[in-house]
Structures are given as C-alpha cells and as structure tokens.
Amino acid sequence: MTPIFDTHAHYDDAVFDEDRETLLAGLREQGIARVVDIGASLDSCRKARALAEAHEDIYCAIGIHPSETGELREADLDWLRDQCRFEKCVAVGEIGLDYHWEEPEPALQKKWFVRQLQLARELSLPVVIHSRDAAKDTVDLMTAEHAEEIGGVVHCYSYTKETARIFLDMGFFIGIGGVLTFKNSRKLKEAAEYIPLERLVLETDCPYLAPEPHRGTRNDSRNLPYVVSALAQIKGVTEEAVRAAAWENAHRLYRLAGV
C-alpha cells in the first residue's frame, strides 16, 4: 500500500505541545511517510523549521499567512529569505488573501502576497496559496505576477470547479482535506470530481478541519485515510489509486526525490 504524504500541517501549533513527539514518532507506522509543516507567522516559521531539523520525515514551508501580515516589517523579508534557503524548506507559504475577517486590510494583504510571490520566484521555490473569500483578487494577483512560472498548490480548496480550472491552467496543484467528507461540501465535491487526479494532493491543515467522523476534534495526519476514501468514491477509483497518485503529486509539487 502506497504511503500518504500530508502536504499541509501545523504540528508547531500549541495544541500539540503535550503529545507532539509521541504523535510524530508514530506516524510512519500509521502509513504517513512524509509531512510538510507550514509556516503562518514569524514565530510558527521558526517552529516549523525546528520540526524539520529534528525529524527526518518532516519538511517545512516558510511564509506569512495573510491574517498575520499585520506583524510584518520590511526587515522581516530578509529573515524570511534566509529561512527559505534552509535545505528542508520546500516552499514559500502559506501566503495569499483572506477576506473572511476585516483585518488586516486587503491592501496590506495584497502587498505581502505579491512580495512573497516574488520571493518564491527569486528562490525558485513553489508557493502554498491560502485563499478565503478572495477568489477574484487571488486570481488577479497570481495572473499579474505570472504565478504559472512559479508553481505550487492552492491549499484547502474551497471555490468552484470553474475557478479550479483557472488554477489548473496555471499549473497549480489543488490541496484537498477533511472538508471533502462534510455533508455540506457539495461545491468541493463537484470540484474534486472535476479536478484531474494527477493534480490533487492530500492535506490535513491540522489541527483544524478534522474529517467525518471526527469533525470538531483535533485533526492530525492519521485521519487522512478518511479523505482518501471519500476521494476514491467521488473519482470512481480505488483507494490505492488515490494514494499512489497523491504520493507522486506531492513529490512533484515540492520537487522532492522519492517518486
């Protein structure tokens, strides 16, 4: 059976403080062979790097989530650049736009989204895109910055299949997680059916978005088989076909050996 690659996790989160090491040490025997811990703030980027340094199977992404851009200063870009040169940093992320909350203001989010897209281009790294309630502006900025030349993944995909086509045309992968199992996720199910299997990757976004039947609890990579099962049913293929494709896709996304 092909192992699972969790392409988007936040094991640096404080909710894992009590059992983090035990949990991570047991992932491989649960069929989870690789994980990318994703930076979201300056502090979480430091912690994500530390996890990658300490664990063979963990990599990291370095970047500032749109909701955290209010803390950024120009000097921080130099620090981010240095962190992104770490050998186990596989992407710039998560970056993007989030209009669900009023702050930070959209203009500031856009500024740092563009700056981090440019950083990824400079360092020849893919990007991990966060986009919530901001489809048009996300597409417009990615188009203006020629994101198709950078590459990456739109994580925790939440838009229509028509918008997915735009991201696919840019060469991006689409991240699918526990939301796919929710009863009210019709739009995502339609998008997942439409998106080619060779462009989908698996993610938890843990500790958030645990799949059914664990919805509302702390999520972790061991729940990904529920997503595999849901995706296999939607695509009309075997669970092993989903596992094999997602494993290969994740390595192509993050430009890692091992396929």
Mean pLDDT taken over the chain: 97
pLDDT cut 70: percent of the chain above it = 99
The encoded tokens of residue 13 equal: 């989160």
Has residue 247 got a pLDDT over 60? yes
Phi, psi of 157 (to 5 degrees): -60, 135
Confidence band, pLDDT 50/70/90 cuts, at residue 102: confident
The encoded tokens of residue 131 equal: 């986009």
Has residue 259 got a pLDDT over 70? no
- Dihedral sign, Cα of residue 24, residue 198, residue 191, residue 90: positive
Kind and range of the H or E element at 11?
none
- Contact between 9 and 52 under an 8 Å Cβ cutoff? The reply is no
Has residue 223 got a pLDDT over 80? yes
Q: So what's the pLDDT on residue 71?
A: 87
Confidence band, pLDDT 50/70/90 cuts, at residue 104: very high
Ordered by start, the domain boundaries in the chain are 4-254
pLDDT in tens, 126-184: 999 999 999 999 999 999 999 999 999 999 999 999 999 999 999 999 999 999 999 99
User: Which of 193, 197, 227 has its CA nearest to residue 213?
Assistant: 227
Confidence band, pLDDT 50/70/90 cuts, at residue 67: very high
> DSSP letters along 118-165, please?
HHHHHHT--EEEEEES-HHHHHHHHHHTTGGGT-EEE-S--S-HHHHH
- Contact between 193 and 235 under an 8 Å Cβ cutoff? The reply is yes
Mean pLDDT of all residues in 92-105:
96
Q: Kindly list the strands in the beta sheet with 127-132, ordered across the sheet, starting from the edge strand earlier in the chain.
A: 4-9, 32-38, 58-62, 89-98, 127-132, 152-154, 173-176, 200-202
pLDDT in tens, 3-12: 999 999 999 9
Has residue 28 got a pLDDT over 70? yes
Has residue 15 got a pLDDT over 70? yes
| Architecture of the domain made up of 4-254 | Alpha-Beta Barrel (3.20)
